[in-house]
A and B are shown apart, each in its own frame.
Chain A
């Protein structure tokens, strides 16, 4: 597929590195001068902008972590004033406080440009109708895919998540050719369509899927492509990078990370040492042009490997492989990040239940189902079933409020939940991809 921005997408690797060095250098000078948080970090690590003399010297810079966003809640590590921002998005934090990300006009511009390159590398363009079935709102998925698709001239159908029968009807009636959603939601949509007597393969014009926001596998890709008669592409991003940001091309051999926007390093999760291409480690990204919320050597927590070899599509930018897992205990439930520590934090605020819990994740049909098992506290135990049912409903409601994902709650006998075995037993994940 023809490049959206040929000058940039087919830049030589040497030119790209020169550009990355120039951008990294000016980013570091700008942060050192104007961002109190990152200047302090650099001073703690005894590194000065003048120490960055080659692109490799970026490895001398201090890392950033999700905890930095939490500690700086809501906008204390931003590099832009509120009146320069055109948007906020909010995602779950690791505890009670969410993570706020902000965007200048130029940040939104670069985000859209990044996805426009990705979408067009998979053949999306003018004449296509794309159904965006990621959530719209505080979550970055819906609006991110929306802006990228509009940029390439496609017609956007902003269905968001849910009301699946209506989504299938609209897909047929408006001749939708592409969809952006989680892979599990697309499988669910396929099942719902079949119940309605609609075969997505034979009865719709759908031909492309941009699937992400949760881990999936090559087996799932094969199943989706064969069953639904489409080409399924991996899409990657996190709110800290902006949102969904990078995609595979038609080669389906890894996700192109546009080097003029993001510098990828893969580091050893334990030592922080930079690993070689092909070695699996923690994805660490420096956003080279982000204005509102700079991200330098941000440790995302996803495990993958870097591929710098030339891609058959002709695009010269490096690729990352499928995400192989997490360095921490983060779960992804229907595309939403959930940390067990958030559950713990929420339960501490509910006196009717104890502080011990267990999370059981499974698939109900194609969709994730999350169960949280808790103990009723001594004070709250009533021998009336209706009282206990109310407690269960209340806990479900409170957890849904703090996790942004619906949860089933099960009341269990005291002492039956894991206590000191560490986090491995706190989460039971029965999903297979």
Chain B
């Protein structure tokens, strides 16, 4: 049951220089792949682009064929009230359950706000959030 809420995020290694995001986004555009959400994490000289897309398997193959270093990462998307306290509610659930957030990013789209999380115990996080009345994105959103 928890598995159906575990979303496959694609992560792409990128050098930290002009044009690299354009190359990644351009490749996804050419393959007709839609990006729901993404973030960039940067270190000295390199970064990792993380994205939720509608067809993760196709995105992985497309980018790998172009020579990018790509991996899948299990994340969850938690629907968030788009008002004061929305983030606090979710963070408190995970904090109370001793689940650590490794990284997070959020988007506020047409169907409301979503918080995307990579946590150390993903199935436990799903149970905790659902058990406390939270709502999660379905993995089937992406095929």
Chain B residues with a Cβ under 8 A of chain A: 9, 11, 13-15, 20, 41-43, 45-48, 50, 67-71, 73, 102-103, 118
Contact = CB atoms under 8 A, between A and B. Distances in A.
A354 to B, nearest CB: 10
A394 interface: no
Nearest to B47: A385
B11 A383 contact: yes
A385 B71 contact: no
A227 to B, nearest CB: 33
A410 B45 CA distance: 7
Nearest to B46: A411
Contact of A385 (B15, B43, B69): B43
Contacts of B73: 383
Given A388-B48, A389-B43, A412-B46, A381 B71 contact: yes
Given A410-B45, A411-B13, A383 B68 contact: no
Interface of A: 375-376, 378, 381-385, 388-389, 410-416
B69 A381 contact: yes
B43 A376 contact: no
Contact of A413 (B9, B13, B42, B43): B13
Nearest to A415: B67
B15 A388 contact: no
A376 B15 contact: no
Given A381-B69, A381-B71, A383-B73, A413 B45 contact: no
13 contacts: A381-B13, A381-B69, A383-B11, A384-B102, A385-B47, A388-B43, A388-B46, A411-B45, A413-B13, A413-B67, A413-B69, A414-B13, A415-B67
A337 to B, nearest CB: 27
Contacts of A385: 41-43, 47-48
Contacts of B42: 385
Contacts of A388: 13, 43, 46, 48
B97 to A, nearest CB: 21
Contacts of B103: 384
A412 B13 CA distance: 8
A396 to B, nearest CB: 12
Nearest to B45: A410
Contacts of B47: 385
Contacts of B15: 412-413, 416
Nearest to A354: B69
A416 B43 CA distance: 19
B113 to A, nearest CB: 23
Contact of A383 (B20, B45, B50, B67): B50
A389 B41 CA distance: 12
Given A413-B13, A413-B14, A383 B46 contact: no
3 tightest A-B CB contacts, nearest first: A383-B11, A415-B67, A381-B69
Contacts of A376: 13, 69
Given A383-B48, A383-B118, A388-B48, 4 more contacts: A381-B13, A410-B45, A413-B14, A413-B15
Nearest to B20: A413
Nearest to A380: B69
Contacts of B9: 383
A416 B46 CA distance: 13
A411 to B, nearest CB: 5
Nearest to B67: A415
A381 B67 CA distance: 14
